[in-house]
Amino acid sequence: MIQMYRVSKKIHNTTVLEDVNLHVGKGEFVLLVGPSGAGKSTLLRLLHFDDRPTEGWIRVGEYSSSALKDRQIPLLRRKIGIIFQDFKLLKDRNIFENVAFALRVTGTRKSLTKRKALQTLTAVGLAHRRDAMPNQLSGGEQQRVSIARALVNDPFVLLADEPLGDLDKEASSNILELLKEINHRGTTVVMATHDEDLAAHMPYRCIRIENGRIL
């Protein structure tokens, strides 16, 4: 499903990732654990093809870094959901529009866009807030919107970069449950966190990363 082979990444001549080998199977829930600055975000960015590896190759689903052309990257991103600590919602549109946007970029018909966006919002429990603007929602709610946006195109993998970082305890466990449920339904999940405690309490495989190397 996801494979990294001898991947290195240099940014401005500093090595951020070095000789990373990684395999994540279909339907797995994997935690990427490491201290701040370890390279977790960089690794996820590579999986999302926001950036290209300096060395080595990466395969995500059917897409391989050696064969993927730049103009195919948008197509790939529609099949890889991603969420962040800071949600990255479009602040000038309401919740419904934020989720619908991910469908519009794929050229989905209007009627289907409306139905799917509402379905997905319902799944994260926010259909009733569809007309609210992002800043009218709590952090936990905003994160649920961003999850809805990530899921609306039925991705085969969901990348989560520190998704609980800005949330209180209750919202955190809420989101975590949601991620587990998503995984339970068959979506592969890769979640980056610096929270050792959290990692220790979850029944999932942990991949530890430090100074750009996998331990």
Ligand X SMILES: Nc1ncnc2c1ncn2[C@@H]1O[C@H](COP(=O)(O)OP(=O)(O)OP(=O)(O)O)[C@@H](O)[C@H]1O
- Angle at 56 (CA atoms; ends 191, 34), nearest 5 degrees: 30
Rounded to the nearest 10 degrees, how much is the dihedral formed by the CA atoms of 202, 29, 44, 166?
-40
Report, in Å, the least distance between residue 44 CB and another protein: 12
Tell me if 174 contacts another protein by CB under 8 A.
Answer: no
Tell me if 112 contacts another protein by CB under 8 A.
Answer: no
DSSP H or E segment with residue 111: helix 110-123
Report, in Å, the least distance between residue 33 CB and ligand X: 10
Contact mark string toward another protein, 124..153, x via CB under 8 A: -------------------------x---x
Q: Which does 38 bind (CB under 5 to 8 A by kind): Mg ion, another protein, ligand X, none?
A: ligand X
Residues near ligand X, by CB under 6 A: 11-12, 16, 34, 36-42, 162, 194
Tell me if 215 contacts another protein by CB under 8 A.
Answer: no
Beta partners for 192?
32, 161
Report, in Å, the least distance between residue 45 CB and ligand X: 8
Distance of CA 122 to the CA centre of its chain: 20
Report whether 126 contacts 95 (CB < 8 A): yes
- Angle at 167 (CA atoms; ends 29, 159), nearest 5 degrees: 30
Report, in Å, the least distance between residue 44 CB and Mg ion: 8
CA 198 to CA 204: how far, in whole Å? Answer: 11
Tell me if 82 contacts another protein by CB under 8 A.
Answer: yes
Contact mark string toward another protein, 85..104, x via CB under 8 A: ---xxxxxx-------xx-x
Q: According to CB under 8 A, which one of 10, 77, 180, 194 is a site residue for another protein?
A: 77
29-33: strand order across its sheet = 80-84, 157-161, 188-193, 29-33, 205-210, 213-214
CA 215 to CA 211: how far, in whole Å? Answer: 10
Query: How many residues make contact with another protein (CB under 8 A)?
Result: 24
Report, in Å, the least distance between residue 43 CB and another protein: 16
Of 33 and 40, the one with the shorter C-beta distance to another protein is 40
CA 56 to CA 60: how far, in whole Å? Answer: 14
Residues of this chain that bind another protein (CB under 8 A): 48, 50, 70-71, 74-78, 82, 88-93, 101-102, 104-107, 149, 153
